[in-house]
């Protein structure tokens, strides 16, 4: 009995020590597993330190921003091959369709929508001209920001263009030097009818976006330049006018800023070629002057877009 008791005590003490060590190990594992939530930076260092190869990979792998910059740089340094032209009205689109001998393509866009795609090759450029078509209920051109946004998004997804040209007619402001028949290359686009009088939301409503910088194109073609203001009404309310003045706009349309928003969202460069049909701050009613000059001004637009494509042909984005 005297010998057995010390042995039992020793065995019990050893079991207790082993149990304590297991408890300590579980506590250690539990603590390490909780590191990502409590000390994420320290946890990352512990993991990277376990393997030098992992450390090298972490250092050498480019970030998402670096990859995006590399892709953009590659695109800007190769010749432009694919052009997406977005035009709101049939009267604006058909002269270009005939000029470049484009043919209608039915398979590129979603079924059931009135949008029309014309395709063809002009010199070294693959041209895709998209017109939103006629409203299915009323049979008029699908003008305005909603159709422009949808068409731009769907076309970019389907066609993956190198450059967007939003071509069309616009109203001009005499106070800013615009005249009927002038063709402008817009420097920036903004909305004038999205008024949200809350800090920061007001800037979102305006939605100012810069057009793709093309100083060489501007110089070569001697086009006028000015800011473009966009709204969903042909006329101009006093509130619209105040916003247009605040936007420092020279021309006014119903699609440009919507195209600019989607192009910026999907990281596709866009330029805006607009021909003036009416003088918004002039004496004649806007709708009357617009209809009176539409055919003649569309001819000027046709000529300007052709000159733009001639200049773009064989060049990289960085050369525009």
3-state secondary structure of 190: strand
Tell me how far apart the alpha carbons of residues 79 and 263 are, in angstroms, rounded to a whole number: 20
Residues 6+ away with beta carbon under 8 Å from 176: 226, 249, 250
> Residue 73: what pLDDT?
53
Tell me how far apart the alpha carbons of residues 6 and 2 are, in angstroms, rounded to a whole number: 7
160: left (phi over 0), alpha (psi -120 to 50) or beta: left
Tell me how far apart the alpha carbons of residues 116 and 132 are, in angstroms, rounded to a whole number: 6
> Residue 72: what pLDDT?
53
Q: Which residues of the chain have pLDDT under 50?
A: 1, 3-11, 13-21, 23-61, 71
> Residue 59: what pLDDT?
41
> Residue 107: what pLDDT?
85
> Residue 54: what pLDDT?
40
**What are the start-end ranges of the H helices in the chain?**
4-33, 35-38, 40-49, 52-60, 64-76, 90-99, 145-159, 201-206, 215-221, 238-246, 256-265, 286-312
Give the residue numbers annotated as catalytic, written as ranges. 92, 278
Tell me how far apart the alpha carbons of residues 244 and 110 are, in angstroms, rounded to a whole number: 35
Contact at 8 Å (CB) between 269 and 317?
Answer: yes
Identify the structural domains of the chain with CATH numbers, from first to last. Answer: 13-61 (no CATH), 65-319 (3.40.50.1580)
77-99: per-residue pLDDT in tens?
889 999 999 999 999 999 999 99
Query: Between β-strands 249-253 and 163-172, what pairing exists: parallel, antiparallel or unpaired?
Result: antiparallel
| Closest by Cα among 149, 148, 153, 167 to 109 | 153
Instruction: Report DSSP letters for 113-173, one per residue.
Output: S--EEEEEEETTEEEEEEE--B-TTT-SB--SHHHHHHHHHHHHHHH--SEEEEEEEEEE-
């Amino acid at each position: 009995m005297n010998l057995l008791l010390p042995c039992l005590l020793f065995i019990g003490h050893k079991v207790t020590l082993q149990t304590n060590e297991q408890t300590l190990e579980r506590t250690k594992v539990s603590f390490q597993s909780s590191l990502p939530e409590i000390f994420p930076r320290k946890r990352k260092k512990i993991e990277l330190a376990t393997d030098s190869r992992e450390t090298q990979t972490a250092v050498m792998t480019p970030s998402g921003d670096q990859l995006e910059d590399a892709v953009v740089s590659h695109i800007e340094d190769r010749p432009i091959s694919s052009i997406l032209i977005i035009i709101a009205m049939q009267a604006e689109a058909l002269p270009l369709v005939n000029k470049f001998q484009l043919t209608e393509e039915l398979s590129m866009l979603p079924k059931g929508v009135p949008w029309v795609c014309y395709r063809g090759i002009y010199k070294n450029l693959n041209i895709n001209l998209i017109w939103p078509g006629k409203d299915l209920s009323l049979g008029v051109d699908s003008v305005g920001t909603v159709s422009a946004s949808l068409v731009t998004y769907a076309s970019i997804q389907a066609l993956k263009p190198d450059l967007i040209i939003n071509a069309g007619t616009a109203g001009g402001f005499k106070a800013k030097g615009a005249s009927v028949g002038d063709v402008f290359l817009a420097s920036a686009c903004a909305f004038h009818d999205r008024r949200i009088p809350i800090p920061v939301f007001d800037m979102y409503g305006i939605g100012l976006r810069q057009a793709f910088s093309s100083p060489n194109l501007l110089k070569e073609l001697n086009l006028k330049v000015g800011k473009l203001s966009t709204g969903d009404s042909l006329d101009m309310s006093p509130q619209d006018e105040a916003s247009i003045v605040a936007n420092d706009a020279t021309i006014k349309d119903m699609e440009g800023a919507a195209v600019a928003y989607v192009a910026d969202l999907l990281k596709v460069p866009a330029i805006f070629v607009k021909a003036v049909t009416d003088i918004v701050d002039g004496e004649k009613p806007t709708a009357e002057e617009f209809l009176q000059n539409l055919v003649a001004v569309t001819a000027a637009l046709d000529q300007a877009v052709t000159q733009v494509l001639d200049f773009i042909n064989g060049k990289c984005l960085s050369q525009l």
